[in-house]
Amino acid sequence: MAPPKRKTGGGRVTPKGTQPGNSRVTAPKSDDAPAVAASSRYTPKTSRRQLIPPNWIPIIMVALLVGGGLMIMARYLIWTGSNIPTLIGLVAILGGLWAATKWE
């Protein structure tokens, strides 16, 4: 069995003796785009579209948390033979917790 082949190619990309920041390479200027350094790694955040207005989020959160708690209590007071209200209550509470993470 032959030994594994050595990696060939690669090597130095910049001239020997250069250090970061010695020279800046800029993109060619055009009329519609500002010049940006080629080594720049910053990417601005894209704006996300908000589907729910922020003032409704705490109202939805509290309604789901309270509704879920009431549904679990109603299982023990009204529907004693079924576990479906407990499941609905837990899902509502989880929805309230999910809404709490969306509140900024």
pTM given for the model: 0.50
- Phi, psi at 97, each rounded to 5°: -70, -35
Which residues form the domain of 68?
57-102
Q: Is residue 77 part of a domain?
A: yes
- pLDDT tens for 9-41 read 667 777 777 777 665 555 555 566 556 556 567
Q: Is residue 84 part of a domain?
A: yes
Q: Is residue 87 part of a domain?
A: yes
Q: Is residue 63 part of a domain?
A: yes
Counting the structural domains of the chain, the total is 1
- pLDDT tens for 43-79 read 777 777 666 677 888 899 999 999 999 999 999 898 8
Degrees, nearest 5: CA angle 70-65-56: 130
Q: Is residue 72 part of a domain?
A: yes
- Which of 64, 58, 68 is closest to 101 using CA atoms? 58
